[in-house]
Amino acid sequence: MASTPVTLKRSDLKHFLDISDTSTPTWSLINLGVTAAQINYNPTVLEEGYIADTAKTKEVESVSPEMSLEFTIKKGDAVSDYIFSKIWNQKVLGDSYSTLLTVRTAETAVDGAYPAMTQPVSISPQNIGNEAVTAAKMSVTLLFRGDPTYGTFNPTTSTFTAAT
Tell me which long-range contacts 30-34 makes (C-beta under 8 A, separation of at least 24): 30/69, 30/79, 31/79, 32/74, 32/77, 32/79, 32/80, 33/71, 33/72, 33/73, 33/74, 33/77, 33/80, 34/69, 34/70, 34/71, 34/79
| Mean pLDDT over each residue of the chain, to the nearest integer | 89
- pLDDT score recorded for residue 133: 75
Query: What pTM did the predictor assign?
Result: 0.84
| Contact (Cβ atoms closer than 8 angstroms) between residue 72 and residue 137 | yes
Give the model confidence (pLDDT) of 146-162 as tens digits.
999 999 999 999 999 99
- pLDDT score recorded for residue 1: 67
Pairwise CA distance, residues 141 & 57, whole Å: 32
- pLDDT score recorded for residue 66: 93
> Above 90 in pLDDT, residue 7?
no
**Minimal CA–CA distance to 59: which of 71, 67, 50, 69?**
50
- pLDDT score recorded for residue 160: 95
Give the model confidence (pLDDT) of 15-59 as tens digits.
999 999 888 899 999 988 888 888 899 999 998 888 888 888 899
For domain 10-162, the question of CATH label 3.90.25 is answered with no
Q: What is the SS3 assignment for 79? A: helix
CA 101 to chain centre: 7
> Above 70 in pLDDT, residue 117?
yes
Give the model confidence (pLDDT) of 88-99 as tens digits.
778 888 888 999
Question: Domains of the chain: which residue ranges?
Answer: 10-162
Which of residues 137 and 154 earns the better pLDDT score? 154
Q: What is the amino acid identity at position 73?
A: I
Tell me which long-range contacts 127-132 makes (C-beta under 8 A, separation of at least 24): 128/73, 128/84, 128/87, 128/88
Q: What is the SS3 assignment for 151? A: strand
